[in-house]
Amino acid sequence: MFRFILKSKLQRLRVTDANLRYEGSLGLDEALMEAARLLPYEQVTVLNVNNGERLETYVIPEPRDSGTVCLNGPAARKGVVGDELIVLSYVLLAEEETAHHAPVIVSVDARNRLLQRAVL
């Protein structure tokens, strides 16, 4: 049996930009992607704390240490600059792998700068 398990969580991200004309994705500061163990084009679930919207998309790197969190394409309809987001990624694990798995939780400040990276 296989299970989808939380791999990483970025919490308290603030939307810095929204670009409706881009073809789709979530632009994310490269340093935050690394902290959360996210690869370019990896699928993520985005939760908007302000309006309850949820969406699935993929991440693309934005300049390192820029603090950029940009909703692109259709995702730009799901939030506005200043909204608080939670970004989740999952991994498919065999049952025996779940006992040794530990998700990464990344917390940021109001400018999307890394505050804490915890492995649960």
- Go through the domains of the chain in sequence order and give each one's CATH number: 2-94 (2.40.40.20)
Q: Give every residue of the chain whose pLDDT is below 50, as ranges.
A: none
In this structure, are residues 112 and 36 in contact, taking their beta carbons and an 8 Å threshold? Answer: no
pLDDT (0 to 100) of residue 64: 97
pLDDT (0 to 100) of residue 107: 98
Verify whether residue 58 is a known catalytic residue.
yes
The answer to whether the pTM exceeds 0.85 is yes
pLDDT (0 to 100) of residue 119: 93
Q: Dihedral through CA 56, CA 60, CA 62, CA 64, nearest 10?
A: 100
Residue with tokens 């200043």: 82
pLDDT (0 to 100) of residue 13: 98
Verify whether residue 90 is a known catalytic residue.
no
Among residues 8, 22, 41, 58, which one is catalytic? 58
> Identity (one letter) of the amino acid at 16?
T
d(CA 94, CA 55): 26
